[in-house]
A and B are shown apart, each in its own frame.
Chain A
Amino acid sequence: MISPAVLLNVKEASRQFGGIRALTDVSIQLRTGELIGLIGPNGAGKTTLFNLLTGVYEPSRGEITLNGQSIGGKKPYQICHKGAARTFQNIRLFGEMTVAENIKIAYTQHAKYSIWSSFFRLPGYLRGEKEIEEKTDELLAIFRLSEHKDEKAKNLSYGAQRRLEIARALAARPKLLLLDEPAAGMNPNETRELMNLIRWIREEFDLTILLIEHDMSLVMGVCDRIYVLDQGKLIAEGTPDRIRNNRAVIEAYLGQEA
């Protein structure tokens, strides 16, 4: 029986690519409001799991439910509508669009006006656009991107692009936020700043967050619990302290003692 507090429930999900088992019987549970880390050596299947959760791939076996509704095999945009938004490991912004427009894209599903009212700029269009504009400005202010509003996204600095990706994901108004290596390529200062930002948005936006990260100080610093993947299998789960001293985890990262 799933208790109502469980937001994301992954039950024995597996994914095969031809003969390669990228994920084998992975089960994880996220309760509402938790900040969970997902770590593992390169090629452990972290991003594959993300892709299953966001509908890029269909699970070969197993069940995934978000808020009690099955999302396994649903299309990415449907999963986004159900309340899960993500960022990407290799930044995927809409480069030629402005910073503000990047965020507006995520509001598309929330502003309801028809194609007809956009053809003729009917009142519905004006209302909808005004609402999008206001929400976008709020979000830009929060992420300190207001001054870059009309710049092309591709011209932003690396750190600002990472921030914009998170802001864009939040614009979709998710319940579950999936962050794929948000600190990749950041210096220690930026990472610390990002840590604070993640903690803050979790409170402010009432989020449940699943975080893939290689930066151990970040993961250990912010996460309530951590799941460890190795070679497609879950090898450990627990609080940062327990994970730090877990023999299986140490072996996965450093290799077996001779």
Chain B
Amino acid sequence: MPILRKLGTFWTFLASSFVIYGVIQLLISTNAIGDVAKTTIIMIGINIILTVSLNLINGITGQFSLGHAGFMSVGAYVSAIMTLDFNVPFPLALLIGGTAAAASGAIIGIPTLRLKGDYLAIATLGFGEIIRIIFLNTEYVGGAAGLSGIPNKTTWLWLFLFTLLSVIMIQNFIRSKHGRACIAIRENEIAAEAMGINTTTYKVIAFMIGAFFAGIAGGLSAHFFYVISPSSFGFMKSFEILLMVVLGGLGSTSGAILGAIVITLLFTALAEMPELRMIIYSASLVLMMIFRPGGLLGTKEVTLSFLKKKEGNPHDIASRSA
């Protein structure tokens, strides 16, 4: 495809994204697909933002966080309050929600990121729960009942734009010196520090960026489902996001996207039989861990690099033995 080769990988990626956008927009506006399918598409977009941002923390920087639903809830609540009580325009409300989530990421990250491995996982899990309990006990945001009547602003267009931007920005970050510093921390923290990398700062930065996009995803989901309540941001939600990332291939952005798509489709397909859902779900995960412990994509990053001469270097860790 000589034309594509001339365009370069980025523009090809962008062009094909907009083709996907156009096709789905056409399907929606001609009512060719039903509400279930539309909801599934929106969920896929939201989950892609969540997995790609969690992958930055867990897969790229190697800091095992289990608090992603907490950051998502901060973004959801803050942006919902912005549109409900302050009439802030939707995109701005999303950004404010994301910024609030990033701030909470810094507050949580600075004391906990000195912990490693399972200790960090437990600490972030605890903080995620704390955020949930705070919302649960705050009258202003409706307590256990949560907020309702949130305007339905998450259109396919907004979702598409924010998903695309999240993926591009995070991927650009990963492929910069800052992203390399994060990968170096994952690979060998002592060597990274000795080579002049301020590991604490970079861990907090990765945590904040991850939290920011989780907040955006939370805002998008709040403005699609009308209602948010603390119960939808529990430990299971964090676990679900992590599952998608691990299934796709920890450390690979395209793996994170694939994981989000596969699991969301699986969820929708199994919605009819809720009793079986968790069983099939767990069984598929067990099989996955036995036969492809590195995730679906494992060590690889799906790129358009066949358009280039030869480049492409997957930032992956799946073959790492740790």
Contact = CB atoms under 8 A, between A and B. Distances in A.
Contacts of B177: 104, 107-108, 111, 113, 118, 128-129, 132
Contacts of A105: 180-181, 184, 192, 195, 197
A107 B176 CA distance: 12
Interface in B286-322: 313, 315-317, 319-320
B188 interface: yes
B313 A108 contact: no
Contact of A101 (B191, B313, B317): B313
B172 interface: yes
B5 interface: no
A244 interface: no
A111 to B, nearest CB: 6
B12 to A, nearest CB: 16
A97 B199 CA distance: 17
Contact of B172 (A81, A119, A132): A119
A75 B190 contact: no
Interface string B170-182: 0011001111110
Contacts of A249: none
Give chain B's interface residue range (CB within 8 Å of chain A): 20 to 34
B187 interface: yes
A118 B180 contact: no
Contacts of B320: 95-96
A36 interface: no
A253 interface: no
B196 A106 contact: yes
Nearest to B313: A98
Given A95-B187, A101-B313, A76 B194 contact: yes
A92 B193 contact: no
Interface in A133-185: 150, 168-169, 172
Interface of A: 54, 56, 75-77, 80-81, 85-86, 88, 92-98, 101, 104-109, 111, 113, 115, 118-121, 125, 128-129, 132, 150, 168-169, 172
Given A97-B183, A129-B176, A81 B193 contact: no
Given A77-B198, A85-B195, 4 more contacts: A75-B198, A88-B190, A105-B181, A132-B177
B172 A97 contact: no
Nearest to A169: B195
B89 to A, nearest CB: 22
Closest 9 CB pairs of A and B: A118-B176, A94-B187, A80-B196, A92-B191, A109-B196, A76-B193, A106-B195, A119-B169, A105-B184
B74 interface: no
B78 interface: no
A129 B316 CA distance: 21
A118 B198 CA distance: 18
A194 to B, nearest CB: 20
A77 B199 contact: yes
Contacts of B187: 93-97
A113 to B, nearest CB: 7
A167 B180 CA distance: 17
A107 B177 CA distance: 8
Residue of A96, A101, A115, A120 contacting most chain B CB atoms (<10 Å):
A96
A34 B177 CA distance: 33
B205 interface: yes
B223 to A, nearest CB: 24
A113 B198 CA distance: 15
B178 A115 contact: yes
23 contacts: A77-B197, A85-B195, A86-B194, A88-B190, A88-B194, A92-B191, A93-B187, A93-B188, A94-B183, A94-B191, A95-B188, A95-B320, A96-B315, A97-B315, A105-B181, A105-B184, A108-B178, A108-B195, A109-B196, A120-B169, A121-B172, A129-B177, A168-B195
